[in-house]
């Protein structure tokens, strides 16, 4: 793959980003898309953002257009955009973008793709969420093929579909997604840093100086495979009765999880420096999800110097070395995940070595390089060249 830093910096462009989630919402898609927008602006581009209004009376920031939205079922606080093709087309006729990036597959995303096609504006989409796997997690596994066909139709309306890993790129190509291009991810290693470890926070969790603290960061929801996280921690706790389990985030499954496990520590949603402090104060990051497209939290844990146990796909496949930075467990091997959590979490010297190695493994990842690669893809689309000509995909 051509290093992102080697990508040419073309002339300034007007770029439109369409997304149905955005900070202060806390999820991987919102934070990733926001970082991409900031990266393009730092490179001199004019970036407009179209997204649903999050609250009544919300004030727009420069370049933002807030559109009608509705509450997302089972995800309190999140919105999806309502269809708005005519409005978008009108806006883009007044100020035509040279390239469009559609980050989400909701009604607003569909409207944006249709408007772009009618106006002849090149568009890229981001494959951020495995909705097909969500079908299984919510008891509707028979809908997985339907969801995949729906996503393929959506993304094939665009000129390129951007994915964060080679593994996902290969899978989508096998499923007849067209023009799938690799856009790697990075992590803010200045924000997520081992130096943010906070003994006072650990004490508030009831963790002694030597007590192992397992930590889970993310939505507390069915698709995160929570039962396995609980099972893995209980195995660790059998070996180390002083172990604690800190949960950072919120979601529809929190209330039941909290009732069933009164000894767990629930920290709620954390942002910025507070999130980094929580990460660094853990000892083993327990991440049993099998429905991620990438899993930014894996990189955040590694940058924080925290040994990590995760299934071997997504970010873990790209960056986590089994036995070096933690454990990369074969997907579906629940017993292996439990054993790895017990082994890594129960050995202080091993955790220390793995956490340091994990930090070193991601230290060279730079968000500015991701912005450069994203810029190169959009420049290629805007000038009529295929994105793959600008970013080789080994």
pLDDT at site 332? 94
List the structure tokens of 264. 């767990």
**Buried b / exposed e across 76-100, counting CB within 10 Å, b at 16+?**
eebbbbeebbeebbebbeeeebbbb
CATH for 194-362 is 3.40.50.2000
- Given a cut of 90, is residue 35 above it in pLDDT? yes
Average pLDDT over residues 147-159: 91
pLDDT band at 101 (very low <50, low <70, confident <90, very high): very high
Distances (CA, A) of 149 to 50, 174, 175, 177, 383: 26, 13, 9, 10, 30
User: What band does 70 get if pLDDT is binned at 50, 70 and 90?
Assistant: confident
pLDDT for 141: 62
Question: Confidence class of residue 346 from pLDDT cuts 50, 70 and 90?
Answer: very high
Residue 270, classified by CB atoms within 10 Å of its CB into exposed (0-12), middle (13-18) or buried (19+), is middle
Q: Could you tell me if residue 158 is left (phi over 0), alpha (psi between -120 and 50 degrees) or otherwise beta?
A: beta
Question: What is the pLDDT confidence band of residue 93, given thresholds at 50, 70 and 90?
Answer: very high
What average pLDDT score do residues 236-262 get? 97
- pLDDT tens digits, residue range 261-299? 999 999 999 999 999 999 999 999 999 999 888 999 999
CATH code, residues 4-186+366-389: 3.40.50.2000
DSSP strand pairing (69-71 vs 79-81): antiparallel
CATH 3.40.50.2000 intervals, the chain: 4-186+366-389, 194-362
**Average pLDDT over the chain, rounded to an integer:** 90
Predicted confidence at residue 24, as pLDDT, reads 87
Question: For residue 291, what pLDDT is reported?
Answer: 86
């Amino acid at each position: 793959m051509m290093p992102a830093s080697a990508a040419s910096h073309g002339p300034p462009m007007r770029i439109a980003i369409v997304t149905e989630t955005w900070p202060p919402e806390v999820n991987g898609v919102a934070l990733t898309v926001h970082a991409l927008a900031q990266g393009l602006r730092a490179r001199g581009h004019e970036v407009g953002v179209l997204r649903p209004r999050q609250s009544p009376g919300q004030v727009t920031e420069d370049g933002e257009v807030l559109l009608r939205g509705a509450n997302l079922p089972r995800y309190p606080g999140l919105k999806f955009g309502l269809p708005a093709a005519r409005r978008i087309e009108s806006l883009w006729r007044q100020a035509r973008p040279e390239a469009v990036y559609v980050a989400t597959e909701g009604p607003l995303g569909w409207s944006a793709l249709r408007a772009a096609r009618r106006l002849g504006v090149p568009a890229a989409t981001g494959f951020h969420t495995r909705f097909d796997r969500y079908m299984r997690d919510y008891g509707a596994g028979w809908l997985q093929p339907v969801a995949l066909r729906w996503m393929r139709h959506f993304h094939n309306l665009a000129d390129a579909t951007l994915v964060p890993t080679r593994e996902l790129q290969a899978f989508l190509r096998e499923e007849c997604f067209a023009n799938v291009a690799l856009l790697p991810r990075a992590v803010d290693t200045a924000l997520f840093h081992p130096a943010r470890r906070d003994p006072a926070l650990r004490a508030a969790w009831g963790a002694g100086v030597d007590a192992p603290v397992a930590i889970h960061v993310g939505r507390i929801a069915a698709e995160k495979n929570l039962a396995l996280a609980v099972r893995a921690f209980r195995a660790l706790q059998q070996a180390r009765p002083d172990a604690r389990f800190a949960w950072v985030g919120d979601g529809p499954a929190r209330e039941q999880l909290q009732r069933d496990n009164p000894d767990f520590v629930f920290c709620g949603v954390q942002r910025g420096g507070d999130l980094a402090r929580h990460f660094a104060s853990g000892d083993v990051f327990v991440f049993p999800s099998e429905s991620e497209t990438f899993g930014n939290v894996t990189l955040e844990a590694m940058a924080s110097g925290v040994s990590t146990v995760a299934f071997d796909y997504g970010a873990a496949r790209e960056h986590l070395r089994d036995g070096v930075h933690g454990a990369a467990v074969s997907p579906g091997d629940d017993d292996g995940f439990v054993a790895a959590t017990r082994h890594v979490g129960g050995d202080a010297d091993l955790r220390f070595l793995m956490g340091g190695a994990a930090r070193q493994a991601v230290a060279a990842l730079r968000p500015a390089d991701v912005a450069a690669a994203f810029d190169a893809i959009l420049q290629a689309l805007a000038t009529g060249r295929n994105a793959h000509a600008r970013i080789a995909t080994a």
